[in-house]
Amino acid sequence: MSIPLSVLDPLPVLDGMTHGDAVEAGIALARRADALGYRRIWYTEHHNQEGYAASATSVLIAHVAARTRRIRVGAGGVMLPNHSPLVVAEHFGTLATLHPDRIDLGMGRGVGGTSSPTLRALRRDSSAADAYPEHVRELRAYLWEGTDASEVRAIPGTGTRVPLYVLGSSVSGARLAASLGLPYCFASHFAPAALEEAVDVYRTEFRASPQNAEPYVIAGVNVTAARTTEEAREQARLTQHLLAERLVPERAPLSAEQAQAVLDSPTGREVLRRYRYSAVGDPGEVARYLDWFGRHARADELIIEFQTRTAEARAISLEAVAEEALPAGA
């Protein structure tokens, strides 16, 4: 394969883990991804969700960047409705000052949790998402366009030119990224429906900017890889079982038969459709799928979320992908 591969890590709290365990497993994953040649590792922003330890995104980025050498580290992404653009610019300007040419800033318009309770706790208004395009422009001005004559400057931040990425799963997000000349990261790993249309709109309407002369698409994809096909399929089955348990009240434990019944329900089938783009198999099978998906998505880069039930299985997936799918000399 010639397409670069990256990692998206929500710091899942896997079987038997504490939140501290999840963070430590994430650091170990980042260090190994760095050594294997993955291009970047990004961290998500989740609030009020027990299953993930990724909430303070910029703190995680600082910690991981200090413990890796080459890999780019960033947000995939910062949910702008939750934050002041100036504060985000200051955080990422500081990160870029500490780790030059290694920090990325992906931006989303979601909340990163159950909307109403999370917004109340964050002291944000539900209309904040409507201002997302203006917030992206304001953030870019702080990091890319600010001058000494500006009334408000991000310090550190102004002049750091931290690379910006628009995250989304819709045509509207594609149009925003195209109009600003920014890379577009499509969330096809959990919201695949508009992938082809959004990428077509983005590539057609793209206008060059100081950051990007050409369009650049990153597409999300799920991976469950193992030494053998059977082992990978068993990991995928266990992951789907967990999805089923999350769909029932109080996340009650389910037998294999009960989990399958949940997944066979209309709600279960809809959830499984969200994971349409998933590679499951041995290293060769996964590499062939990623090659196909990269062409299907017309992507310049793929970003992988590993779907497993244990940290050990996630590390095996990371290694298996690198064995067959990372570009030579990555």
Torsional class of 11: left (φ above 0), alpha (ψ -120 to 50), beta (otherwise): left
At residue 121, the pLDDT reads 75
At residue 2, the pLDDT reads 83
Closest CA to 36 of 10, 62, 66, 6: 6
Angle, CA 57 vertex, CA 277 and CA 242 arms, to 5°: 40
| Lookup: tokens for 108 | 């989303």
Instruction: Return the SS3 of 110.
Output: coil
**E strands along 120-248, which residues?**
164-168, 184-186, 217-225
pLDDT of 149 above 70? no
Indicate the DSSP class of residue 12.
B
Q: What is the pLDDT of residues 289-328, one digit of tens each?
A: 999 999 999 999 999 999 999 999 999 999 999 999 886 5
At residue 111, the pLDDT reads 64
**Burial of residue 78, with CB atoms counted within 10 A of its CB: 0-12 exposed, 13-18 middle, 19 or more buried:** buried
- Report, as an integer, the average pLDDT of 237-256: 84
At residue 148, the pLDDT reads 55
Residue bearing the bigger pLDDT, 16 or 204: 204
Cα–Cα distance, 71 to 62 (Å, whole number): 13
pTM over 0.95: no
Residue bearing the bigger pLDDT, 293 or 109: 293
Lowest mean pLDDT among 26-30, 133-137, 251-255, 260-264: 251-255
Q: What is the pLDDT of residues 124-141, one digit of tens each?
A: 666 667 889 999 999 999
At residue 146, the pLDDT reads 62
Residue bearing the bigger pLDDT, 284 or 128: 284
Q: Is there a contact between 189 and 221 (Cβ–Cβ < 8 Å)? A: yes
SS3 of 283-304: the string is HHHHHHHHHHHHHHCCCCEEEE
At residue 61, the pLDDT reads 97
% the chain with pLDDT above 90? 73
At residue 151, the pLDDT reads 79
At residue 127, the pLDDT reads 67
At residue 122, the pLDDT reads 72
Consecutive H or E run containing 78: strand 72-79
Confidence of residue 253 (pLDDT cuts 50, 70, 90): confident
- Report, as an integer, the average pLDDT of 155-181: 95
Q: What is the pLDDT of residues 174-222, one digit of tens each?
A: 999 999 999 999 999 999 999 999 999 999 999 999 999 999 999 999 9
At residue 46, the pLDDT reads 86
At residue 330, the pLDDT reads 55
Average pLDDT, the chain: 91
At residue 3, the pLDDT reads 93
**Burial of residue 112, with CB atoms counted within 10 A of its CB: 0-12 exposed, 13-18 middle, 19 or more buried:** buried
% the chain with pLDDT above 70? 92
